[in-house]
Amino acid sequence: MPGTALSDFGDMVRTFTTDRPEDDPADPVLRRDVLEALKAGYLEEAGDFLHASERAQLLHGAAWITGEQAMRFLGDWLAGDVYYKTRYAEHNLVRARNQLALFRELSKLI
């Protein structure tokens, strides 16, 4: 799907930097060492593909996508779980809370 490097990086961060799955009800811990390694590796491999403004805004992309995903989970829960597959009644609500907690942690770094 077409998108920006910021959303691609953000989804990678959302997926790989936490210490637990997105549907774990406990607040996730942001593994900053993993975040820094992802960022360094991404920047190294991206070369001239990224504009200077994209390089400077990678963490904004991570927070943006994480917040967006939280809203998508919450919206789906409010709509009756019609989009994402769920295993129990509040599955999407748990996911939303997890992603909001991760969003708060990422936002502290911006």
**Those residues with Cβ within 8 angstroms of residue 76's Cβ, 6 or more apart along the chain or in another chain:** 82, 83, 84, 92
User: How is the chain split into domains, by residue range?
Assistant: 5-107
Interatomic CA distance for residues 44 and 98, integer angstroms: 30
Give the residue among 69, 74, 70, 67 at the shortest CA–CA distance from 107: 67
Instruction: Write out the chain's pLDDT in tens, 110 residues.
Output: 567 889 999 999 999 999 999 999 999 999 999 999 999 999 999 988 899 999 999 999 999 999 999 999 999 999 999 999 999 999 999 999 999 999 999 999 99
- pTM comes to 0.91
